[in-house]
Structure 1
Amino acid sequence: MIHFEKELAKIKAGEIESKSLTFKVKKQQFLLKDFQFHKEDLRHLRRSWKSVFDAGFHLEIRNAIQTDKIQIDLDAISQRVDETVESTDARFNTLQSEYFELGSRLGRKLHQQWQEKADELCLWLESIEKERRMVQLETISNPEILQQELENITVLHEEISEHEDALEKLQEAAKCLLSLSNDVVPNVLQLRKTTATILQRFQRLHQGASEEKRKLERTNVQEEDLKDS
């Protein structure tokens, strides 16, 4: 329990940091499962103590002590062990509750972080999608406009690359949240749907931008060939 108390303190110490929330939630889940696994050790300790100090065996020990005239206070020993077991049990339950409470707090913070990232990505996607639709409606015949569009599509590719990290973190946070209990994630279906929709829109944008870039590059080569001719 000393180990688990130290690990709990470490997570709590950095709880306000939002950069590694997913890692902290995963670590809390792992530690809680490992901690609960040791609950059987506590049950075994209690059963062992009761079997040692049951009525019949207790009487045999008393008789042996009286025969050999050994000065041992069995009642004091029994009381001390009982107190130790009860204290350990209480300490275990308290620590388990603290792990549950920490998990709920971290889960709610991670859900809030996921929502913020989802909103940011949706806004960015909407602005880019609107911009690309406007460009596609235009017929590019002017070489200067063609060059400008090539520059624009290159910038778009850079923007897409910059947002790949945010998308990856959104997916990672969603996966982590889906492993938690329903009281942490208010709407699991909405979480799945929103994450999947953002991923599809991102992939569609990436594919469309790549196709448009290839098309513009081909057009540019054709224009250069016409100039040479």
Structure 2
Amino acid sequence: MTTFALPAIVQPSVAIQGSDARFPVRRIFCVGRNYADHAREMGNDPDKEPPFFFTKPADAVVDHGATIPFPPETGNLHHEAELVVAIGTGGADIAKENARDHIWGYAPGNDLTRRDLQNDAKATRRPWDMSKGFDNSAVCGAICPVSAVGHPAHARLTASVDGAIRQDGDIADMIWPVDDIIAYLSRFVRLEAGDLVFTGTPAGVGAIMRGQTCTVAIEGLGEATVTLA
């Protein structure tokens, strides 16, 4: 039996819809600029290019319904509504036509972003880590197993703040669909069971203030709600 010098780290996890069991989180990958309308609103060219990725630490994950502290070192915290893909079977160099065999389920998610820090990082050509990978930055609703929901191709994706809709799109509008994302990402890293992939956000991202509640909803997949203390 292994002895550790410090208390063992608690395994980050996400709820599973209709089950008391939880989905263990290994790594969190996020796709940037995967909706043309969002690329335009951020001042980028939406023409199809290979997807790019950034990461969040596994322990940044937050369950639906949580209340979290307002993040430090930002005056411009943004919501980003996203479809989250949960990987159930690992693999490298996964063929696009086999990508769905590796998916365990789907969930709504919110890629919280310290937009002011991200803008500074872009301007100085520095990494995005502190703008994306901070504590409590990966809000994720309960995962819906593929056995229950299949592989949704069309589903309304919204983000609302205190009941007012801010983002309203459809997962069908992704520049790079889920199968392409998994195939491309697996060329760079070996995916494993427990990985989460946030697949990008449509237009309408905006600020969440202290005391406000943000809800991301995906038709047929439930909600991911978080309140900023």
- Smaller-chain TM-score bracket: under 0.3
| Bigger fraction of residues in helix | 1
Q: Indicate the structure (1 or 2) with the bigger Cα radius of gyration.
A: 1
| Bigger fraction of residues in strand | 2
In the superposition, the TM-score normalised over structure 2's length comes to 0.18
In the superposition, the TM-score normalised over structure 1's length comes to 0.18
Higher relative contact order, chain-length normalized (CA < 8 Å, sep 6+): 2
